[in-house]
Amino acid sequence: MSVPLVRAEQARAVMLELFPDGFEEVDGLGGVELAAYTDAGGEERLWQAFGGASSVDVPEDWQERWRTFHRPVRVGPVWIGPPWEEPPPGALAVVIDPGRAFGTGSHPTTRLCVELLLTLAPGASLVDLGCGSGVLSIAAARLGFGPVVALDSDPEAVEATVANAARNGVRVDAREADAIHDPLPASDLAVANMTLGLVEQLAPPARCGRLITSGYLVSERPSLPGFEPIERRASDGWAADLLARQTG
């Protein structure tokens, strides 16, 4: 679906609501192209939201084929890439095969979370809420954070995280859990790259001193009672925040 630049931010917000696990965005002439892999139900929701969208049938094995588009990204010293690419010498390599889980590392929200991790002193314990492929947990472990616990409500994400942690030779305790409704482990730091709606529900359950949040747009700011904003990063219309628990 093509959207003119002036409407891009609004359209991204709607796409995020409709497809919280992710959608694709490609810059075009005077606008952006937004695309989601979905079924007939999703196509109908797109039509209802935008009053029009073009669709093409993709092969049954698209979830495997899209791997050809999995390209490495660099965030400071951290290189995030697929198993079939060679990390440059001296880089802190995070090798990710996301399988069917979200998180190749290339999404701006994931990159922004890594950027904020890089501003913090390593050594702190970390809980990754909504770990997807495990990309943030593994990057954190590579940077010297630990122990690292990775939680996701999707069993395929937990499976992908376990496999990716083993591939990278790092220790990550990956478990299936609902970050909003299940009791969460205490940690110095938590990262939550989810949606604004989910992030905002974390204030009571999150048991951490600092919290990195993302999964929402630059125009949005999470309201998390008990936490104060410390730093914000933005890229391609997306934002990530570092928050600290208020004392006293």
The count of chain residues that interact with ligand SAM, using the rule CB under 6 A, is 23
Tell the smallest beta-carbon distance from residue 197 to ligand SAM (Å).
10
If one asks whether residue 135 binds ligand SAM (CB under 6 A), the answer comes out as yes
- In angstroms, rounded to a whole number, what is the distance separating the alpha carbons of residues 165 and 141? 9
Q: Least CB distance from residue 226 to ligand SAM, whole Å? A: 19
Mask for 143-182, x = binds ligand SAM (CB under 6 A)? --------xxxx--x--------------------xxx--
Distance CA(45)–CA(41), nearest Å, equals 6
Least distance (Å) between residue 155 CB and ligand SAM? 10
HEC profile for 195-226? CHHHHCCCCCCCCEEEEEEEEEECCCCCCCCC
As a whole number of angstroms, the distance between CA 175 and CA 193 comes to 17
Part of the chain binding ligand SAM (CB under 6 A), chosen from 42-50, 57-65, 127-135, 141-149: 127-135
Parallel, antiparallel or unpaired: strands 187-193 and 208-217: parallel
Question: Angle, to 10 degrees, between the axis of helix 155-168 and the axis of helix 135-143?
Answer: 30
The DSSP bridge pattern shows strands 92-95 and 78-81 to be: parallel
| Member of 124, 140, 184, 198 binding ligand SAM (CB under 6 A) | 198
**What is the pattern of x (binds ligand SAM, CB under 6 A) and - over residues 207-226?**
--------x-----------
Q: Which residues contact 177 (CB under 8 A, 6 or more apart)?
A: 151, 152, 153, 184
Classify 92 as helix, strand or coil.
strand
- Closest CB to ligand SAM among residues 7, 181: 181
The three-point CA angle 223-224-227 to 5° equals 125
DSSP 8-class letter at 39: -
* Binding status of residue 25 toward ligand SAM by CB under 6 A: no
Cβ closest to ligand SAM, residue 3 vs residue 190: 190
- Applying CB under 6 A, which of residues 124, 136, 143, 202 lies at the interface with ligand SAM? 136
CB of 137 to ligand SAM, least distance (A): 8
Q: How far is the CB of 122 from ligand SAM (least distance, A)?
A: 19
Nearer residue to ligand SAM within complex by CB, 46 or 112 = 112
Could you give the 3-state DSSP secondary structure of residue 24? strand
Note the residues at the interface with ligand SAM (CB under 6 A).
Answer: 101-103, 107, 110, 113, 130-132, 135-136, 151-154, 157, 178-180, 193-194, 198, 215
